[in-house]
Amino acid sequence: MAMVSIKDVAAYAGVSPGTVSNVLNRPGKVAPATRERVEAAISELGFVRHGSASTLRAGHSRTIGLSVIDIGNPFFTEVAAGVEDVASELGYAVILGNSAGSQDKEERNLRVLAEHRVRGVLITPSGEDPARLDRLRGHGISVVLVDHPAHRPDQCAVAVDDVAGGRAAVAHLLARGARSLAYVTGPLTIRQCVERREGAKAAMRAAGLDPEELRVAETATMTARAGEQAAAGLIAEGLPEAVFCANDLLALGVLRALLRSGVRVPEDVALMGYDDIDFAAASAVSLSSMRQPTYQLGRIATELLLDECDNPDTHAHQHIMFQPELIARESTQ
Amino acid sequence: MAMVSIKDVAAYAGVSPGTVSNVLNRPGKVAPATRERVEAAISELGFVRHGSASTLRAGHSRTIGLSVIDIGNPFFTEVAAGVEDVASELGYAVILGNSAGSQDKEERNLRVLAEHRVRGVLITPSGEDPARLDRLRGHGISVVLVDHPAHRPDQCAVAVDDVAGGRAAVAHLLARGARSLAYVTGPLTIRQCVERREGAKAAMRAAGLDPEELRVAETATMTARAGEQAAAGLIAEGLPEAVFCANDLLALGVLRALLRSGVRVPEDVALMGYDDIDFAAASAVSLSSMRQPTYQLGRIATELLLDECDNPDTHAHQHIMFQPELIARESTQ
DNA sequence: CGCCGGAAGTAAAACGTTCTACACCGAGGA
DNA sequence: TCCTCGGTGTAGAACGTTTTACTTCCGGCG
């Protein structure tokens, strides 16, 4: 409980509080002898700076927010790892928000971030409502979109081309000879799900198929369990020759349900996931998938954000778009 | 940039700042008519409370810290989901720290948490150094241990019995007839790894085997990749009849390497993991594992922590110990 | 009629930093 | 001798809340 403040340190070292603050923030400005005395006082008294006071006075904190759609998804976990690494290298703390796909929860999380006066926010939005993010920027909080293209030019964004990904995935399935296709997807309020579907339709069109023939099974969450349920539905209605899933979690669920029902993959049904999470290669039938530079997504987004915060005048907003890579494995052999 | 403060709201609503603060914190204390006027002002001006100022004055924040060993491990992800859910229900924000197994990184993270004057910290320590945690408590920050028994009586802890888990796992392997065993483990600085090994040895002793015969392969990180390397080592030195891994990530790596080398699981080698992550059931050969109440671990730890913070006088410290559950699948059939 | 007491609201002092403006000092140039 | 000028350091005013002590008002009671 012995809260030791900058004043105590100052008294102990025989200097003024301002000098202690200088030692903390611009050590160059203070003479070596005094600096050492102050540093000794700091460690002897076990002083730790009160971040809130500092934030209050300085007007900004060394904290950023990260808002993701599903922290249970290894895709986001890896993004988070990239974010955390960069942030901690530069001495920033990360406040984590999990929207779990709910716009309400996302809203609540953003509010918390705004109250904390975070320096900036990294967000994979769970819906299309730029207004909400603009409000943050109104409070002087920079926003970088992760795995989502920019809403506006004066904003950084790091994304992956989901239309191209969907197209490549389905083109691959069609090249294998599949003619009837199902798309198992999360909520179509999520942009990624929509764009991957558009890519899939484009591939069908390119192959001379009617894109309206694509059977779409929409689930409420993008989890393995939801995938299992979707697969049960497909089985009940009659299986297509190939199934494309909007992410690997869904695909693993579909795979599990199919195998359990005695359906052979890929002989009876070819299967593709998306994200190429680590576990895709290790599943019962190893899963073909679209690989994305996940960790890099997190790293680069964070670097952009912190550059925007720390060097506001030289900072140039960037819209980065990666291309996903097709990884063919047993499930589409 | 138009930072609107409590003063602006007060002026707009024709009251004093104190009254606005009352509306915010104890709405009961202010007359309905004024309250409405203030609330209208708040929403019209788009006021959002400055958390740091509030923390500074009130002496404590509505933020907790979560420090885990590996955010890439689904085990911790699920713990984090439990934490996040409870915290956000009670209006707390969560600052995430990933120690990545490094004590230095953990130290840095704890420092950041201390600077933020978080209300409390949930931590799965990556080493045995209670002093560090005691220092936090010295700053008035409550600490609850997650997946780790208490260091001291006046402290909450939520753990799972790892000795019993190791024993059950190995007893299961022995019951299948295995006589030569290997234990693939993460760093033996991690308590869980040590205790699971002790459990394993106890099971061997109980079966009349010499516990010193247990071959221990220690890896630097607890990832699938490390598991693959460990398996390569085992193959080179001659395979045992059964392999017990300190977690599922390692086990999935071992499995992948074994299958790639043409070793049959479970016919040639039986394999057990630990944690029963979702993917264990979906792997090439479904993985036997020890299930732990992961999400509950996070939930309960957070509830204990926030109870300790919000009701310090009625709060009773608890040491909760769960028992893990054996899940037998193909890999030990 | 005077007084008491509760309800509603206010003024002003904190909280621990950071930052701006200023003071001091000794050296070097005019 | 006087002035200026870096180099160091200090005093004190912020920052936006919360909170304590106080005022005001009004109804009711002796």
Q: DSSP readout, B9-50?
A: HHHHHTS-HHHHHHHHH-GGGS-HHHHHHHHHHHHHHT----
What confidence category does residue A310 fall into, taking pLDDT thresholds of 50, 70 and 90? confident
Q: Is residue B220 part of a domain?
A: yes
Q: What per-residue confidence (pLDDT) applies to B230?
A: 97
Q: Please compute the mean of the pLDDT values over residues A69-93 and round it to a whole number.
A: 92
Task: Supply the mean pLDDT for chain A.
Answer: 94
Q: Please compute the mean of the pLDDT values over residues A95-102 and round it to a whole number.
A: 87
Q: What per-residue confidence (pLDDT) applies to A311?
A: 85
d(CA B152, CA B139): 17
Same domain flag for B253 and B312: no
Domain hosting A25: range is 6-49
Same domain flag for A92 and A10: no
Is residue A208's pLDDT more than 80? yes
Which residue on chain B is closest to A140 by alpha carbon?
B1
Contact B6, B20 (CB under 8 A): yes
Q: Is residue A212 part of a domain?
A: yes
Same domain flag for B194 and B315: no
The answer to whether the Cα torsion of A164, A167, A170, A171 is positive or negative is negative
Q: Is residue A11 part of a domain?
A: yes
Q: Is residue B246 part of a domain?
A: yes
Same domain flag for A284 and A171: yes
The answer to whether the Cα torsion of A187, A192, A194, A200 is positive or negative is negative
Q: Is residue B1 part of a domain?
A: no
How many Å from the N-terminal Cα to the C-terminal Cα in chain A? Answer: 64
A26 CB below 7 A from strand D atoms: no
Q: Is residue B108 part of a domain?
A: yes
Same domain flag for B203 and B251: yes
What confidence category does residue A313 fall into, taking pLDDT thresholds of 50, 70 and 90? confident
d(CA B225, CA A278): 10
pLDDT, tens digit (0-9, with 9 covering 90-100), for B87-108: 988 889 899 899 888 888 899 9
Among the listed ranges A15-19, A59-63, B178-182, B195-199, which one has the minimum average pLDDT value?
A59-63
Q: What per-residue confidence (pLDDT) applies to A2?
A: 62
* Nucleotide closest in space to A29 (CA vs C1'): D8
d(CA A144, CA A304): 8
Residues in chain A: 333
3-state DSSP helix/strand/coil percent for chain B, to nearest 5? 50, 15, 35
Q: What per-residue confidence (pLDDT) applies to A185?
A: 98
Same domain flag for B248 and B144: no
List the structure tokens of A254. Answer: 């579909």
Whether residues B115 and A278 touch (CB distance < 8 A) is answered with: no
Same domain flag for B67 and B135: yes
B34 CB below 7 A from strand C atoms: yes
pTM: 0.90
CA atoms within 13 A on the CB side of B41: 25
Residues 6+ apart with CB under 8 A from A274: A165, A169, A196, A244, A245, A246, A247, A248, A251, A289, A290, A324
Same domain flag for B153 and B225: no
B260 CB below 7 A from strand D atoms: no
Which residue on chain A is closest to B95 by alpha carbon?
A95
Give the domain CATH number at B35.
1.10.260
Same domain flag for B212 and B101: no
Nearest CA to A73 out of A95, A94, A101 is that of A101
Whether residues B52 and A53 touch (CB distance < 8 A) is answered with: yes
Same domain flag for A172 and A99: no
Q: Please compute the mean of the pLDDT values over residues A306-325 and round it to a whole number.
A: 92
> How far does the CA of residue A77 sit from the closest CA of chain B (Å)?
6
List CB contacts (< 8 A) between A67 and chain B.
none
Q: Is residue A211 part of a domain?
A: yes
d(CA B200, CA B238): 20
List CB contacts (< 8 A) between A117 and chain B.
50-52
**Backbone φ, ψ for residue B299 (5° rounding):** -60, -55
Helix (H, G, I), strand (E, B) or coil at A262: coil
Same domain flag for B43 and B92: no
List CB contacts (< 8 A) between A224 and chain B.
278, 282
> How far does the CA of residue B262 sit from the closest CA of chain A (Å)?
15
* Nucleotide closest in space to B58 (CA vs C1'): D18
Same domain flag for B251 and B318: no
Q: Is residue A55 part of a domain?
A: no
Q: What per-residue confidence (pLDDT) applies to B2?
A: 62
Q: Count up the domains in chain A and report the number.
A: 3
Is residue A1's pLDDT more than 60? no
Residues 6+ apart with CB under 8 A from A237: A215
What confidence category does residue A142 fall into, taking pLDDT thresholds of 50, 70 and 90? very high
* Nucleotide closest in space to A47 (CA vs C1'): C16
Give the domain CATH number at A143.
3.40.50.2300
Is residue A135's pLDDT more than 70? yes
The residue with tokens 């203070």 is A30
Query: Which residues of chain B carry a pLDDT beneath 70?
Result: 1-2
Contact A87, A33 (CB under 8 A): no
**DSSP class per residue in A125-160:** -SS--HHHHHHHHHTT-EEEEESS--SSSSSEEEEE
CA R_g for chain A: 25
